[in-house]
């Protein structure tokens, strides 16, 4: 499948297996990342999405018996929360409530302004010394491909890209977020998407 060929599945597993302690996942959708966590490292996992319909699908995935037999989940508290990650994280959970916050491919759907607000909300709900793990669409490293993205991003977002602005400069957004520091990043598929491991100061 395409996600395997592009390295997305590998990137998910590599990045999110590093989540530990109290974990919050933003834009959890249908729970696609559930299988990438190492439950031995978690004390709790909160899956958050703005869509109740998506969360219902994530709950179905979680309740699947075959899934729960993978790994030791019995000591992990799992919750499903409907909220807007661009404005409601601090209000819902309070400052410094989590050890790790993760997100995959949600920032592009929020637009540039919404993504910047979300990053600030993420930073606030993570304890100092905690981490933010991101896997996001980004502007390609290849200049020609990047120029094509720039020319088509808005039209693609409106025409069938589910609102995803796929040429965001996520690195710049992170650097502009007070208290967030990129510790490591990795580009995949000529930079069409990137993973970021960030620390919270």
Under-70 pLDDT residues of the chain:
1-6, 65-71, 139-167, 190
Within 21-104, residue ranges assigned H as helices are: 52-63, 65-68, 89-93
Residue 159, pLDDT score: 44
Residue 147, pLDDT score: 46
Residue 112 is inside which H or E element, if any? helix 111-125
| pLDDT (tens digit per residue) in 126-185 | 999 999 999 997 755 545 454 444 444 454 444 444 455 556 789 999 999 999 999 999
- C-alpha angle 135/137/138, rounded to 5°? 115
Judge if pTM exceeds 0.85: yes
Residue 73, pLDDT score: 86
Question: Residue 188 contacts by C-beta under 8 Å, 6 or more apart in sequence?
Answer: 6, 7, 8, 11, 194, 195
Distance CA 2, CA 191 (A): 16
Residue 137, pLDDT score: 77
186-199 exposure pattern, b = at least 16 Cβ within 10 A, e = fewer = eebeebbbbbbbbb
Residue 28 is inside which H or E element, if any? none
């Amino acid at each position: 499948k395409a996600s395997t060929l592009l390295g997305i599945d590998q990137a998910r597993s590599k990045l999110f297996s590093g989540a530990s302690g109290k974990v919050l996942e933003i834009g959890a959708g249908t729970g696609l990342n559930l299988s990438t966590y190492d439950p031995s490292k978690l004390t709790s996992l909160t899956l958050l999405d703005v869509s109740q319909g998506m969360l219902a699908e994530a709950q179905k995935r979680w309740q699947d018996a075959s899934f729960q037999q993978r790994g030791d989940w019995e000591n992990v508290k799992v919750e499903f929360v409907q909220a807007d990650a661009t404005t409601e994280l601090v209000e819902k959970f309070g400052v410094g409530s989590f050890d790790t916050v993760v997100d995959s491919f949600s920032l592009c759907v929020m637009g540039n302004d919404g993504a910047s607000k979300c990053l600030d909300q993420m930073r606030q709900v993570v304890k100092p010394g905690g981490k933010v793990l991101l896997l996001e669409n980004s502007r390609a490293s290849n200049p020609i491909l990047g120029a094509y993205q720039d020319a088509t991003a808005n039209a693609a977002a409106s025409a069938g890209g589910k609102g995803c602005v796929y040429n965001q400069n996520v690195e710049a957004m992170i650097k502009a977020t007070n208290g967030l520091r990129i510790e490591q990043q990795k580009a995949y598929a000529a930079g069409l998407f990137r993973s970021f491991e960030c620390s919270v100061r």
